[in-house]
Every structure is written in C-alpha cells, then in structure tokens.
Amino acid sequence: MSKAGALDLASGLGGKIDKTEVLSAVEKYEKYHVFYGGEEEERKANYTDMVNKYYDLVTSFYEFGWGESFHFAARWKGESLKESIKRHEHFLALQLGLKPGHKVLDVGCGIGGPLREIARFSSTSVTGLNNNEYQITRGKELNRIAGVEKTCDFVKADFMKMPFPDNSFDAVYAIEATCHAPDAYGCYKEIYRVLKPGQCFAAYEWCMTDAFDPNNAEHQKIKAEIEIGDGLPDIRLTRQCLEALKQAGFEVIWEKDLAIDSPLPWYLPLDKNHFSLSSFRLTALGRFFTRNMVKALEFVGFAPKGSQRVQDFLEKAAEGLVEGGKKEIFTPMYFFLARKPLSDSQ
C-alpha cells in the first residue's frame, strides 16, 4: 500500500527535515555535486549527510512514482513494470538459496518494499539496514499494514559501520544501494564480517560499464546527472566492484550485467518516447503533471519551498539514466553472487 495522492506526496516532502528548512537543505545538497562546483572527495567525505539529505528530499517522490520498491528491473515483453520488479526480487532470493528460518540482511533497504516481498516469498526473517530516519519510520508503518512486523524489522545504522556481531546472517543482499558507499571495499568488508562463513552475498550495483569513456564530455555529463539526481558520491566501474569484492575476501560465484540481455530496456519507464497507463506517473506526461502539481502545491503552501527544485534534479537524473542506458555506458543491474569461504584459508 503506497502513498497515492497529491496531499500524501506534499505531506511527505522533506522527510524529517523541518518544512521551513527544505529549501536550504536542497541548496546544500546541490552544492555537493559537479553541476554546482562540488568535488568527488567532498561527496565521499560527507556521504552520510549528503545521502540522508537526498532521501529526506526524494522519498515521497519515489514512492509516488515507483511504489514501495525503488529499483529498476530487467523486463520481459508482456510483463508489467510491477511484475518485473517482483521477479527481480524473487531472483535474488533464489540465487541466495533462501530457506524458511534464515536470518537475512537487506543493506540499504529504503522503505522496505523488497524486504517485505522477499520475506513473504521465502518465509525468512529480513532485517533492513538504513541510515535514514524518515524511511525507517515509513517502512515500519508499511510493515504494520502488510502484517509482516514479526518477521521484518529495521535497524538505523551506517552500512560502513554495522552494529551487528561477526557471522550474524545466513544471507545478505543489496539492491541498488551500496552505490551510495564512499568506498566499495569498506562496504563489502563490513558485509563479509556480518555474513556467516559459507554463506552468500548478492547484489545489484549501479555502475559505469567498460563503454564509459572518462575523456568523453558527454559521458561525463551523463554520469554527473545521475550522481546529482540519485545521491551518489561517485559511480564505479563494474570491474572496480568486482575487484573490491575479491579484496574483501569473497569468492565470486558469478557476475553479469543483466541489462545486456533484457528483452525490454530497463530505462523504458523513464523514456519520454514511451507511454504506459500502468506506470503513468513515470512517463513524460505523468512527470509533467507531477511537476505542475508540485509547483501548485508549493505555491499554495501545502508543499515546502524547495520541492520544485527536488523535482528538477530528479528530472535531470531521469534524463541521465535514459541516455546512459541508451549509450550502454551505465547499468543499474550489475549482478553478482559471492560467497564467504568457510575459513580464511579456503
């Protein structure tokens, strides 16, 4: 059950930020990024503040447009966006071999759409790790509505410094979340620490592909649009993620950019040339209505000042994602399945 109405969108804008301070939060967030003179090192040094501001500002927009699961998916012809998202989540559960009674960790869980789906699909207990208070509050309410509060819970913490003992979980996954980490190795090493020996970690990572040319100005512009629109300190190459996994101690079972074989492009919902009634709010026309609705709500005082600026950088992200997908220089679904050895000597 997701927020569906205009007033729900307006009431959630800004998350836990005081409504009178949303505009200044937007301005501070924007200054972290290339378009406003920001530097990568500053974004990495202040990733907690940057990512928290980002999710306070955008969560209501995400839920209004996407529902409870904030991620893309490979998609078959004849399959709806909602169906593809569920299948994308079920695929993770199957790859991890989840079984009833397993204790599972969702790293960077958002408002918990995937963890609720995976817990119900696999009859497991899933803990969502998230450092954003507003998303956790919203996720707990959705858990209660779904009736899964006994098997699904949330922990507020930084995934670079997890508050769990060593060898705590039977499986760990991340869906388009660890891209927010300032250091992939440090993040994967923490996941390695809390995962039980012999068990697996699976993820979908946001990455630049080998087709990305750092000396190409258009490629750099696309990368910068995605970074500002999605709260990212940097976007790593697929091979950098793979190397970080190995350095952290994982055995990589298999890895692949799943965007390559997707019958329908993953970016189709955001493509201005595509129209769909089932995902109308994500289409060009739907986004036009949302943009003007937010403008009106901000004008009459129902939405805080700065809301339209948030909509603007989300639009910039959508443009960058579509262009990055079309040029095949960016993927939101670099998948890997990696195992923690039974012993360090293995």
Beta-sheet pairing, 103-107 with 330-339: unpaired
Q: What is the dihedral of CA 88, 91, 95, 101, to 10 degrees?
A: 100
Q: What Rg do the C-alpha atoms of the chain give, in angstroms? A: 19
Beta-sheet pairing, 195-208 with 330-339: antiparallel
In sign, the C-alpha dihedral spanning 311, 316, 319, 321 is negative
Please report the pLDDT score of residue 87 as a whole number.
Answer: 97
Choice among 30, 68, 117, 176 that is catalytic: 176
Q: For residue 78, what is the DSSP state? A: T
Q: What type of residue is 286? A: G
Please report the pLDDT score of residue 4 as a whole number.
Answer: 47
Q: What type of residue is 299? A: F
Q: For residue 35, what is the DSSP state? A: G
Please report the pLDDT score of residue 280 as a whole number.
Answer: 62
Indicate whether this model's pTM tops 0.75. yes
Please report the pLDDT score of residue 34 as a whole number.
Answer: 59
Query: What b-and-e string marks burial along 318-335, b requiring 16 or more CB atoms within 10 Å of the CB?
Result: bbbbbbbbebebbbbbbb
Facing residues of 342 across strands? none
How far apart CA 51 and CA 319 sit, in angstroms, is 20
The pLDDT tens digits along the chain (346 residues) read 444 455 555 556 667 777 778 778 778 777 877 556 677 788 878 778 878 888 888 888 888 888 899 999 999 999 999 999 999 999 999 999 999 999 999 999 999 999 999 999 999 999 999 999 999 999 999 999 999 999 999 999 999 999 999 999 999 999 999 999 999 999 999 999 999 999 999 999 999 999 999 999 999 999 999 998 888 889 999 999 999 999 999 999 999 999 999 999 999 988 877 656 556 666 667 677 777 777 777 777 777 787 788 888 888 889 999 999 999 999 999 999 999 999 765 5
Please report the pLDDT score of residue 345 as a whole number.
Answer: 55
How far apart CA 318 and CA 338 sit, in angstroms, is 30
Reading across the β-sheet that carries 125-130, which strands appear in turn? 152-156, 125-130, 103-107, 169-175, 195-208, 330-339, 251-257
Please report the pLDDT score of residue 21 as a whole number.
Answer: 80
How far apart CA 127 and CA 267 sit, in angstroms, is 29
Q: Tokens 């360090």 identify what position? A: 344
Q: Tokens 């079309």 identify what position? A: 326
Please report the pLDDT score of residue 111 as a whole number.
Answer: 95
Question: Which of 73, 77, 72 is CA-nearest to residue 263?
Answer: 77
Please report the pLDDT score of residue 278 as a whole number.
Answer: 57
68 is catalytic: no
How far apart CA 75 and CA 274 sit, in angstroms, is 14
